[in-house]
Every structure is written in structure tokens, then in C-alpha cells.
Amino acid sequence: MTKQNVLITGATGAIGKSIASMIALKPNYHVFIVARNPEKGETCLAQIKKLSENEQVSLLIADLSRKEDIQSLANKWKEPLHILINNAAIAPPRRKETKEGLEMQFATNVLSYFWMTELFRNKMEIDSGRVVNVASYWAGGLDLKDLEFKKRSYDNDHAYRQSKQANRMLSAALAEKFPHIAINSCHPGDVSSQLSSDLGFGGYETPEQGAKTPLWLATDSAGLDNSGKYFERMREIRCPFCQDSEAVKELYEICSTY
């Protein structure tokens, strides 16, 4: 097996760190983690290297809510990319905006998945290219006329559910648009984390249990044999949001304008 390059966002969080660590434990993988905070990123990097005893783990710094940061990452990336895991997610209690004036949760949870896939796709047009979008079963309430909560009153739980519905729909749209790349979405396990705390939830699974399905899609043949599908607990689940082809197309077109 030739070396597989893996790029994972949100790797400093509980589930993301577990996914990155478990891949680093496997032979022939070079894991690249993306962090916004350099200090937090360096700490995460050291922890993953210590746990996995793998020196082939690298840190990249970027604010994923900003397209220019993602474009810079893509411009600097010179190797083939075999696996992209979009896992970054936030749920700020109050509505915030990026420097560009975008609602922060929509930019991070939705647009970063879209931008990462679009801007790295040319690096992934290889036989084994795949994208894993970490979505959720906690999804719904998408309003295509108010994706940034400019008209509605912002509620972080409502914004989060909308973002996870969008992840699932965009996975279907991107899979159709880029048939040479396997693009799937999944629900991870229910883990206690900063994100779950911000949403007012707990968590009953370990980070390793929570990472199981994203890890499976990233490293098992199932992640290549399927595309445009949604999974929970390593099983394909029919996604009702993805069945609405007109809404899927409209969401893709809206995201393309950012």
C-alpha cells in the first residue's frame, strides 16, 4: 500500500482528535491536521504523535471560516490528497460574523466543507480519492432564504441542525458533480465535547466510539464503494433531505456564490 495523505479539519476537538489519532495508528498514512489556534494545534499534534508513535503527522494553520485561508492551504498543497475529512464545527451561543460579514456557524460548519472540497478537488482526482463529511442525525430546519439567520432570530441549536442538514445535502450535490471522488456524509457518535456543551447536550460515548463511523468511511473500502450516501453507525441510512433534488441543487448554487 502506498502512503495515503489525509487532511482533517476540526482535529483539535474530541472526535476530530480521535479520528486523526486512530488513522495515525495505521501504517502508511500521513495525517495533516488543520487548526485555527497555533498553540492548541501544537498541543494536539504532540498528543497525536505520542499516542500513535507516528512522526508522519503535520499541523497546518488556517481559519476555516475564511475562504482566503482555505485557498491559501490549497495553493500550498503540493502532494496528492487521498482522504479529506471535513469535521470542523462550532455552535456559538450568540450570532457572530466573520471578518467578511458571514454568519460564523454557517461559514464554519457549511461553507468550509464546501470550500475545502471545491478547492482541494484537483488534488484528489486520483483512483482512491475520497471525502468524509462529518454531519449529524441532529439535522433539519434548513431555510434556503435565510441561511445566515439575518431574518430569523438566531438560535445556536437551530443553526447547528440547519448546518448538518446542509452537510448531508451538499455531500450528495458534490458527489454528483465530481464522480471521480467518493463523497459521503455520516453521523459520528454522541461524545461529550465543547460543541455538545455549547448545544446543551452531554454525551454517552467515548471519543473513540464517536470516531468509529468517520474512521470507517475514511479507511475502509466502503468509503470508496459508495458516494453521495449518508451513514450512521457504519450503516447506510436513507436521507430524506437528499431526496429533494431541487433543494439540493439550490443549496449548491447558493454556496457557489460565496
Per-residue model confidence (pLDDT) at position 108: 98
> Global pTM?
0.96
Across all residues in the chain, what is the average pLDDT? 95
CB 161 within 8 A of CB 140: yes
Q: Look at 185 and 205; give whichever has higher pLDDT.
A: 185
On whether the CB atoms of residues 252 and 171 are closer than 8 A, the answer is no
Residue 8 has pLDDT above 80, yes or no: yes
pLDDT of 137 reads 96
Q: What is the pLDDT of residue 1?
A: 63
Looking at residue 228, its pLDDT comes to: 98
Q: What is the DSSP pairing of strand 230-232 with strand 182-187?
A: parallel
- The residue behind cell 504532540 is 46
Q: What is the pLDDT of residues 57-99, one digit of tens each?
A: 999 999 999 999 999 999 999 999 999 999 999 999 999 999 9
Q: What number is the average pLDDT over the span 188-215?
A: 87
Q: Residue 201: pLDDT band by 50, 70, 90 thresholds?
A: confident
- 211 CB neighbour count, 10 Å cutoff: 27
Q: Which residues of 9-36 are buried (b: 16+ CB within 10 A; e: fewer)?
A: bbbbbbbbbbbbbbbbebeebbbbbbbb
In the prediction, which pLDDT does 125 show?
72
127-172, pLDDT tens digit by residue?
679 999 999 999 999 999 999 999 999 999 999 999 999 999 999 9
State the cell numbers at 233: 453507525
